[in-house]
Amino acid sequence: MQLQDWIRRNGYNYRSFAKEIGVSFRNVEKWSRGETLPRFNKAKIIFDFTNNEVNGHDFYEKQIQRHQTEI
């Protein structure tokens, strides 16, 4: 599941989710849009917090989609 979908489905917004996992709002926004990937330690926090409903593949999938639209 994409991070942005998980956030919406679980009643969060980028700011509240960022606060819950201890990162900046801007990082969550960038990760959700596929602009950047979270570092391993932050990704692990996301996976644990979402009970692995969001996983590493979801981040790479978003990046691939983003790059394909730029071509």
Q: Positive or negative, the Cα torsion across 21, 60, 51, 45? A: negative
CATH code of the domain in which 54 resides = 1.10.260.40
Mean model confidence pLDDT for the chain: 91
Predicted TM-score (pTM) of the model is 0.84
* 7: containing domain: 3-70
- Euclidean distance between CA atoms 14 and 5, whole angstroms: 11
In this prediction, residue 34 has a pLDDT band, given cuts at 50, 70 and 90, of confident
Q: At what angle do helices 40-49 and 56-70 cross, to 10 degrees?
A: 120
pLDDT digits (tens, 9 = 90+) for 35-58: 899 999 999 999 999 999 999 888
pLDDT digits (tens, 9 = 90+) for 52-66: 999 988 877 777 777
Measured in residues, the chain has a length of: 71
Q: How many domains does the chain have?
A: 1
State yes or no: pLDDT of 67 exceeds 90: no
25 by DSSP, 3-state: which?
A: helix
State yes or no: pLDDT of 71 exceeds 70: no
Percent of the chain as helix, strand, coil, to the nearest 5:
70, 0, 30
